[in-house]
Amino acid sequence: MADRLNGTRILILETREEAQFSKLLAEQGAEVVQCPMFTIQDAPDPSPVEAWIRRAIDKPFDDLVLMTGEGLRRMMKLAIARGIDQAFVVALAKSRKFTRGPKPGKALREVSLEAQQTTEKPTTEGVIEMLAKLDLRGRRLGLQLYPDKDHSALTGALSAQGAEVDSVLPYVYDSKAADANIVAAINDMAEGRIDSIALTNLGQVRRLIEAAKAHGSEAKLRTGFERTLIASVGPAVSGELAAHGLRTDIAPADEAYFMRPLISAMAVALAERKPKTAAR
């Protein structure tokens, strides 16, 4: 059915793929309220990123670990600007490629490449578990990282396995630009104007709480979470919610940690709740 979410207002915080997520929800009849948590920008100094790309071209890595699809797309953007994109893709094709979940794999397919292995769990711990089964002694390993995360556990684990780790951080987050929208979204939740909030990565939970603290809206956020069904895409998000004393009301079944299964689970849960539209 294409109208399973008719009469519902869904708050989404996805930044990298909000257009796709919003479209999928709208196709089910939902009114989508978009509130990106931050703006993604290229690394302020592109020199280290370019140097990493050129090292990959000059001597392709034995192994490549992509933590996000955004990271590869940002590197391709820079490679295109420098006129070295074709050489970069050729070099990446020679590496054994590993991805943290499906999104980096999608970015690889955009340049006609495939991952050799993807984590069972789209988390840093999942990457560590996946690579722990491999012999990395003496292998040059290119590691694409992402902002606002302590990656020491990952880099330490890889180094302990004997890998020569060469990491790169291709982009940064600008969170202050989004604070006003976040506060408005918190007010909407607290006043009962949102039926469900859909959380697709654990950083969204942290950003909501940080922005609420910065603007004196902590009580409103707690009220909002009490009045709103909380949908989590998977265990990493649910774990972060639990760490802050928050519950998970909706989650995909059967370890299907993707947008479509999340939307299906939301449709079922919201169908059981009387729509609040008439009360607004």
CA dihedral 241, 246, 247, 248 (to 10 degrees): -30
Strand partners, 42: 171
90 & 165 share domain: yes
CA separation for the pair 262, 272 (Å, rounded): 16
pLDDT at site 156: 97
Question: How many residues would you count in the chain?
Answer: 280
Q: Provide the domain count of the chain.
A: 2
- Within a domain: 206: yes
pLDDT at site 277: 43
Q: What is the CATH number of the domain that holds 146?
A: 3.40.50.10090
- Within a domain: 2: no
CA dihedral 257, 260, 201, 256 (to 10 degrees): 0
151 & 225 share domain: no
158 & 241 share domain: no
- Within a domain: 137: yes
Tokens of 112: 């006609």
156 & 89 share domain: yes
- Within a domain: 4: no
Cβ(230)–Cβ(249) under 8 Å? Answer: yes
CA dihedral 81, 86, 87, 92 (to 10 degrees): 110
Q: Which helix (H) or strand (E) covers residue 37, if one does? A: none
Rounded to the nearest integer, the mean pLDDT of the chain is: 91
pLDDT at site 65: 98
31 & 45 share domain: no
C-alpha dist (Å) from residue 279 to 46, 221, 230 = 51, 21, 20
Question: Could you say which of 173, 198, 217 is where a domain stops?
Answer: 173
CA separation for the pair 121, 235 (Å, rounded): 9
- Within a domain: 3: no
47 & 162 share domain: yes
Specify the pTM.
Answer: 0.66
Question: Could you say which of 173, 198, 218 is where a domain stops?
Answer: 173
- Within a domain: 133: yes
pLDDT band at 256 (very low <50, low <70, confident <90, very high): low
129 & 208 share domain: no
189 & 268 share domain: yes
Neighbours of 174 (CB within 10 A): 11
Sorted by sequence, the CB contacts under 8 Å of residue 272 that are 6+ apart come out as none
Percent of all residues in the chain with a pLDDT value above 90, rounded to a whole number: 70
CA separation for the pair 250, 113 (Å, rounded): 34
231 & 219 share domain: yes
Question: Could you say which of 173, 200, 219 is where a domain stops?
Answer: 173
Residue 91 has pLDDT above 70, yes or no: yes
pLDDT at site 215: 95
27 & 64 share domain: no
pLDDT at site 280: 44
182 & 88 share domain: no
Which range among 87-96, 190-199, 208-217, 265-274 shows the weakest confidence by mean pLDDT?
A: 265-274
Q: What is the per-residue pLDDT across 36-59, written as a single tens digit (0 to 9) for each?
A: 877 788 999 999 999 999 999 999
pLDDT at site 279: 43
Cβ(197)–Cβ(162) under 8 Å? Answer: no
Which residue range forms the structural domain that includes residue 75? Answer: 41-173
Tokens of 224: 């909002």
Helices (H), the chain: 18-27, 47-58, 69-82, 85-93, 102-110, 124-132, 152-160, 179-190, 202-214, 218-227, 235-243, 259-271
Across 230-248, average pLDDT:
94
